[in-house]
Each structure stands twice: as C-alpha cells, then as structure tokens.
C-alpha cells in the first residue's frame, strides 16, 4: 500500500480547513469524532502524502513538530501564534529565501558554462553575450528583424537535454524574427540563407529567470539552426 496514492477530493479538504480556521465557526474539533479514528488518520495521511512530494521538489523541508502544531492550532480554533497576514508574510519570506538560494546556484552554473564555452576554438561572441559557432557558411541574403524565415533547428539545454526540434515535425518551421526570443532574432540576422550555425543563448536573451515549459530558469540554450529561406 505504500506506493498507492490516496485521492481525497480537494473540495472536501478545503471545507475542512476553511471551516476549521474560521474564527466565527460555532463548532470545534474534538467534541465529537463522527469521522472516526481510522478515517481521521487516513485523511491526515493523504493530505500529508499529497503535500510531501510538492514540498520536497520545491526544496521545502519544514520543522515537522512546528508544522503539526500549526495545523493543530489552526484546526482547533484556539489562538494562534500569528494572525493570517503575519503568517502569509513569514511564508513568503521563507519561499523567497529558498528561491534566492536556488537561483544563485543556477546563475553560477550558467556563468561557468558560458565562460568555459567562450574559450573553445571557433566560438564568436556578440555584445549581447550571444555565443555562436559557424558550422556551414553560405553566401545567400541575410534576414532583417521584420522578415519571416524558414528554418530547421534542434534545441538543447547546456547539459545536453533535447527539448525541441523541427526535424520531428518532418518539415521546417516558419516564423517572424520579431516574434521570437532576442537570442534567436539576433542570431538569425547573422546568418545567410544556406548557412548552419550553433547558437549558445544566455538566459538574459532567452527565457530569463522564469524559464518556460521544459526550460528551467537561468538556462543557456544551445540551438543548431539551418536557415533555409527568407519569405
């Protein structure tokens, strides 16, 4: 039974918690045990297991004794250590500290990767920080920021994970240069039709501190791009 997730309706949990924490509630917990000992334990177990994975994945390791005390005080309707505004402030401060610590590591990883990559033979760097490598150079025309282009591409994270590729679609993609991330629009304007480049796009001209989809915050993106045409 250890690996089987118990599912409790979110509405039921909301009713229990909101009702219990409402100071105007005329009832109190502990007067009757109409839910039953085993059912009460099962409910607590399910709530705990449901939140556990989310907490761990977000780097939240709370003091278990204090967590349980806070739940008990909130459910009992007795006077709590903080009012709701203060509690929210404390939670937000703790989340901000965790996020700042995590981001510091990601930022340093990106700095180290780009510094090392810049030393490799054939790597060129633009003023924005875009790094690129010419794989195939051609003599065709170059697109401008208002052009639409046709390309084949493969996108990976700096660690090598593939997150997107046009080759899986079976045909090239078409888009306007002014509708993509700055690193793409800048890089493609360096290329002539028929060229093939590899771009190393820093997060500052990519998806920044928030990331998007499979792309995490502060991620350097590595794209191999073939410019097939200007439309």
Query: Rounded distance, CA 7 to CA 66, Å?
Result: 25
182 within 8 A of 202, measured Cβ to Cβ: no
Structure-token pair, residue 227? 């410019």
Q: Answer yes or no: is pLDDT of 36 > 90.
A: no
Q: Which fold has domain 107-230?
A: Chitinase A; domain 3 (3.10.50)
Q: Which of 1-5, 35-39, 129-133 has the lowest mean pLDDT?
A: 1-5
Q: Domain map of the chain by residue range?
A: 10-81, 107-230
Whether the Cβ atoms of residue 151 and residue 226 lie closer than 8 Å to each other: yes
pLDDT reported for residue 29: 60
Cα separation, 66 vs 73, whole angstroms: 10
Query: How confident is the model at residue 205, as a pLDDT?
Result: 97
Q: Is 37 helix (H, G, I), strand (E, B) or coil?
A: helix
Structure tokens at 168: 């899986």
Q: Can you give the pLDDT at residue 32?
A: 60
The token pair that represents 153 in the structure block:
């591409």
Q: pLDDT tens across 171-208, in order?
A: 999 999 999 999 999 999 999 999 999 999 999 999 99
Q: Which helix (H) or strand (E) holds 83?
A: none
């Amino acid at each position: 039974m250890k690996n089987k997730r118990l599912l409790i309706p979110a509405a039921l949990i909301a009713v229990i918690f909101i009702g219990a924490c409402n100071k105007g509630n005329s009832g109190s917990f502990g007067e009757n045990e109409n839910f039953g000992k085993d059912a009460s334990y099962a409910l607590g177990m399910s709530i705990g297991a449901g939140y556990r994975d989310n907490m761990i994945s977000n780097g939240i390791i709370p003091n278990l004794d204090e967590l349980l005390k806070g739940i008990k005080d909130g459910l009992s309707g007795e006077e709590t250590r903080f009012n709701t505004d203060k509690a929210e402030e404390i939670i937000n401060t703790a989340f901000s500290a965790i996020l700042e610590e995590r981001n510091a590591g990601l930022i340093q990883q990106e700095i180290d990767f780009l510094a090392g990559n810049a030393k490799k033979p054939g790597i060129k760097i633009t003023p924005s920080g875009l790094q690129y490598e010419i794989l195939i150079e051609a003599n065709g025309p170059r697109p401008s920021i208002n052009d639409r282009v046709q390309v084949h591409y493969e996108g990976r994270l700096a660690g090598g994970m593939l997150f997107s590729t046009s080759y899986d679609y079976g045909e090239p993609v078409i888009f306007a240069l002014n509708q993509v991330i700055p690193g793409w629009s800048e890089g493609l304007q360096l290329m002539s039709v028929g060229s093939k480049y590899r771009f190393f796009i820093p997060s500052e001209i990519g998806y920044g501190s928030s990331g998007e989809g499979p792309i995490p915050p502060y991620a350097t993106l590595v794209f191999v791009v073939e410019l097939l045409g200007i439309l």
